[in-house]
Amino acid sequence: MKKAFVLIVGICMVSFYSCKKEKKEDVSVTKVIEQYTIEQFMDNESAWANGFSTDNSKVLITSNRSGINNIYTIPAKGGELTPITQSDSSSIYGISYFPKDDRILFRMDGNGDEVYKIFVKDGNDIKALTPLENVRTAFRGWSKDGERFFYGSNERDPQFLDHYEMNMNDYTSKLVYKVENARDFNAMSDDGKYITLSEAINTNDSDLYIVNTETKEQKKVNSEQSSNSHLDFSPDGKSLYFSTDAGAENTYVARYDIATGTTERITNNTWEVLSYYFSFNGTYNVFYTNEDAKTVLRVTEVATGKTIDFPEIDGQSIAGVRFSRDETMAILEVSSSAKPSDTYSYNMQTKEYYQLTDVLNQEIDPADLVEGKVVRFKSFDGVEIPAIYFQPKQANANNKVPALVQVHGGPGGQSTLRFSSNVQYLVNHGYAVLAVNNRGSSGYGKTFYQMDNQNHGDKDLKDCIAGKNWLAQQDVIDADKIGIMGGSYGGFMTMAALTAAPEEFKVGVNYFGVTNWVRTLKSIPPWWASFKDALYDEMGDPNTADSIRLKQISPLFHTDKVTKPLLVLQGAQDPRVLQVESDEIVEGVRKNGVPVEYVLFEDEGHGFVKKENQIEASKKVKEFLDQYLKGSTNTLEKTDL
């Protein structure tokens, strides 16, 4: 899987639900589409499972139903969620139950600063297990015997996440492996004899190393420059499975024999590998691929090679699976681009399944929501660009609608067929959305992925303009009312459009976008140090003559070119795109006398996770678009359905 510098994965702002009404009965397929408030859309709950309890009777759930992420438990056969934490400030994310008892691990940062700490919940007591001050930690899994867990910590050096283990009886920890030489720790075999490290060459390619912890010998696994990523050790510990694109456009799974050092390809997939691993006891093999912006899951029984066919639930495919330690139960994720993800428990023997979450606000009729459709169009130079298109159901040739080109985060991210309350809200209110996967996006091969290297704000922007032109050709789109929006790298692309091609789009919505690449590249968090050189290879080194080009493509230095209305949204705690990036772009554009609105959240980081802030942000976006893109305030919102 490619190693991309993704400033933000996307702007998917789903939120919680409270009390639920009876679902409306299905009426005529020709009925008028209801329009819902942002409060109703954000009353969709964002919830996902973190694993079974040791006896499989309960499931740990992370949910934002309280308005912020907290952890809950629910019976494995369904029922009511029981709150375990009740934070009203920083979000809390579940990690797992302890393997042998009902203690719970969770993580928490400081209002979006991404400096995560690991905590334990033991009965009514909560204890911090990792240092609280200026130390970032990351959970890395349980030991096979369930007596220890492993985690990364940069307490020794802010640049490196060393490998530690913590004893579950007295919570004492010890350093297992010290990470050096700008290499990232990947994983350790169950017996502790081998670990793998990766070293980035550029944003696509990386070397993979296997280290014998007893002899300290290190061997490079890959034989040529390519994208190489650790996937899993074999259950018997004799082989290493890794993804590579050696000799191919997309990554595939290869097996490295540790004793002989030989490698063989074992999958024939033509789309990108997302993940490949074995269940706890090695009974099942789980294989994910990214197929044209959709996650495809394949599970096989290792002993027989038989494919496990999970049930189709509610007309939706299974997008994710997680097995219990004894492999008798599984957690299934069911999702589509027109419905938020729900979680089910599944009995591998009886084939029974139980719904654990019901996240769609029952005030919203699923028939009013829109499924994304993959489309393709030619860019200025003939390169084919994939995108995901959401067309309002009320749009037709006699009722043309305004549209938005949406740009994902990155560089190197990808828009996928996943549900977004934010997108559905806009589409429901008559805005078409085209989520463009411009050149440089993941998922479409290494040639496409590297097409924007040291060319950001130029050819990738022209791809977005080509997307605008594609929209303009659709007979349901008002060609004179097309805007651009995006977050992080997508925010940069928004500002690049308004400064480098100021007449192409009618408005711009910039979520925490990079506006000064020289400053951003110099201020990346220290724990990304191992990837800094690779990032500089793609973007340019701000400490060299590259700074001239980086300044040229930075929208901050061209604010005098902006002639179209602009909305900027920013989190004050953002460690990736600093607040000053948005402060200064707003100040610069305001001098032009064009409408500029600025929304700053003091308690958010890189992406907004608090329900009240998500609602405020989405309201501001729609109000802005209604005024400056659609041309008049929409008065059709219904609060009483």
Residue range 120-166, pLDDT digits in tens: 999 999 999 998 788 999 999 999 999 999 999 999 999 999 999 99
pLDDT digits (tens, 9 = 90+) for 574-625: 988 999 999 999 999 999 999 999 999 999 999 999 999 999 999 999 999 9
Question: Which alpha helices (DSSP H) does 383-458 contain, by range?
Answer: 421-428, 446-449
Within 13 Å of residue 326, how many CA atoms lie on the same side as its CB?
13
Looking at the domain assignment, is residue 254 inside a domain? yes
What was the pLDDT predicted at 35? 96
Q: What percent of the chain has pLDDT over 90?
A: 84
Q: Which of 592, 593, 591, 571 is nearest to 581 (CA)?
A: 571
Indicate if the pLDDT at residue 532 is higher than 90.
Answer: no
Q: Are residues 370 and 340 in the same domain?
A: no
Question: What pLDDT, on a 0 to 100 scale, did the predictor assign at position 134?
Answer: 87
Same domain for 402 and 346: no
| Nearest-angstrom CA–CA distance, 22 and 363 | 8
Q: Is the pLDDT of residue 24 over 80?
A: no
Give Rg (Cα) of the chain. 24
Task: Give the pLDDT score at 18.
Answer: 32
Q: Which residue among 311, 336, 355 closes a domain?
A: 355
User: Is 32 among the domain residues?
Assistant: no
Number of domains in the chain: 2
Same domain, 421 and 553: yes
Look at residue 10 and tell me if it is in a domain.
no
Indicate if 401 and 321 belong to the same structural domain: no
Mean confidence (pLDDT) of the chain: 91
Query: Are 145 and 285 contained in the same domain?
Result: yes
DSSP code of residue 366? G
pLDDT band at 13 (very low <50, low <70, confident <90, very high): very low
Residue 497 has what pLDDT? 98
Do 336 and 370 reside in the same domain of the chain?
A: no
pLDDT at 4: 40
- Per-residue model confidence (pLDDT) at position 382: 98
Element of type H or E holding 510: strand 508-511
CATH assignment of the domain containing 431: 3.40.50.1820
pLDDT of residue 131: 85
Taking the C-alpha atoms of residue 363 and residue 350, their distance in angstroms, rounded to an integer, is 34
pLDDT exceeds cutoff 90 at 444 = yes
Sheet holding 218-220, edge to edge: 184-188, 194-200, 206-212, 218-220
Same domain, residue pair 525 and 438: yes
Query: Based on the domain organization, do 458 and 311 belong to the same domain?
Result: no
What element of type H or E holds 433? strand 432-436
CA distance 325 to 56: 9
Confidence category of residue 538, pLDDT binned at 50, 70, 90: confident
Vertex 76, ends 75 and 78: CA angle to 5°?
65
Indicate if 260 and 384 belong to the same structural domain: no
Provide the pLDDT for residue 133: 86
Q: Return the closest-CA partner of residue 456 out of 482, 486, 490, 483.
A: 490
Question: Which pLDDT value is given to residue 635?
Answer: 35
Range of the domain at 123: 102-355
**Nearby residues of 560 by Cβ (< 8 Å), 6 or more positions away:** 588, 591, 592
What per-residue confidence (pLDDT) applies to 8?
Answer: 36
Q: How many CA atoms lie within 13 A of 521 on its CB side?
A: 22
**Residue 233 in domain:** yes
Q: Which of 355, 385, 403 is the last residue of a domain?
A: 355
Residue 45: pLDDT over 70: yes
234 and 193 Cβ atoms separated by less than 8 Å: no
42 inside domain? no
**Coil, helix or strand for 239?**
strand
Structural domain includes residue 62: no
pLDDT in tens, 213-243: 999 999 999 999 999 999 999 999 999 999 9
Q: Record the pTM.
A: 0.90
Let me know whether 293 and 413 are in one domain: no
Question: For the domain that residue 238 is a member of, what is the CATH number?
Answer: 2.120.10.30
pLDDT digits (tens, 9 = 90+) for 571-587: 999 988 999 999 999 99
Decide if 347 is inside a domain. yes
Residue where one domain finishes, among candidates 333, 355, 377: 355
Mean pLDDT in residue range 101-113: 94
- Distance between CA atoms of residues 218 and 520, nearest Å: 34
Q: d(Cα 385, Cα 388) in Å, to the nearest integer?
A: 10
Q: What is the pLDDT of residue 9?
A: 33
Are the CB atoms for 13 and 421 separated by under 8 Å?
Answer: yes
DSSP 96-112: EE-SSSS-EEEEE-STT
176 and 289 both lie in a single domain: yes
Residue 27 scores a pLDDT above 80: no
Specify which of 22-31, 36-45, 536-545 reaches the highest per-range mean pLDDT: 36-45
The confidence score (pLDDT) of residue 266 equals 97
| Assigned domain for 232 exists | yes
What pLDDT does residue 441 have?
A: 97
Residues 245, 394 within the same domain: no
